[in-house]
Homo-oligomer: A and B are copies of this chain.
Amino acid sequence: MHRFSKKVSMTVVKRLPKYYQYLTDLQLNDIEKISSRELASLMGLTASQIRQDLNSFGGYGQQGYGYNVGELREAIKEILGLDSEYNCIIIGGGNMGHAIANYERFKREGVILKGVFDVDPLTVGTVVGSVVVKHMDELDEFIKANEIDIAILCVPREVGQKVATQVTDLGVKGILNFSPLDLTVPNDVVVENVNITDSLFTLTYLLGE
């Protein structure tokens, strides 16, 4: 759990995964140190903003030197909660569920796929990612038995809210929501939406500008 003196705004939080990505790349290229100015040029931000962003979590840089890539990456990894492991399930074994299940990156960062669920008899029993798809009837039992932290929703709009309510009732505290609707969940549950339709429409808007 975080204990930062300053409260951090959502816009800053949304930049953290980007920092993490760039720092990971730098480390892979054996770059040991980087200045805010260099990182800014790389990421298309201002050096000032980067220093401000990073400093809201703590003084990871060294004056006159810059930032140690490895240390900063580890720090951000921890801030993002990626030093812990998470058990996750995918609900909806269609193409989108399939796609997510095969994201190697998830496992590499400690998000472990424990199960995939669907209602379609043709899908149940097939292998998706590393697991065999189970029927939704088994969901309640499974979540209780496996301490699931995150549910990834890839279900049709019509059943999205129902499924969200079901999993949060069972104690799931995080939802990555690919279903194109706004979910209503308890206060202690966090939802991150990936709304592909909205993204497409934003694109068509921008095309007309």
Tell whether, in the assembled complex, residue A207 and residue B173 are in contact, meaning their CB atoms are under 8 Å apart.
Answer: yes
Per-residue contact bits, chain A 7-18, to B (CB 8 Å; 1 contact, 0 not): 000000110111
* Interface magnitude class on chain A: 35 or more
Tell whether, in the assembled complex, residue A176 and residue B198 are in contact, meaning their CB atoms are under 8 Å apart.
Answer: no
B44, B94, B199: which contacts A182 (Cβ < 8 A)? B44
Tell whether, in the assembled complex, residue A203 and residue B182 are in contact, meaning their CB atoms are under 8 Å apart.
Answer: no
Closest Cβ of chain B to A101, distance in Å, is 8
With A and B bound together, what is the CA distance between A206 and B103 in angstroms? 21
Question: What is the total number of copies of this protein in its complex?
Answer: 2
18 contacts between A and B (CB under 8 A): A2-B208, A13-B202, A13-B206, A16-B205, A17-B195, A17-B202, A21-B198, A84-B208, A95-B96, A106-B197, A109-B201, A111-B200, A150-B204, A174-B203, A174-B204, A190-B207, A190-B209, A194-B194
Given A1-B209, A21-B198, 17 more A-B residue pairs with CB atoms under 8 Å apart are: A1-B208, A2-B209, A14-B198, A16-B202, A21-B181, A44-B182, A81-B204, A95-B96, A96-B96, A98-B98, A105-B180, A111-B204, A175-B203, A190-B203, A190-B207, A194-B194, A194-B196
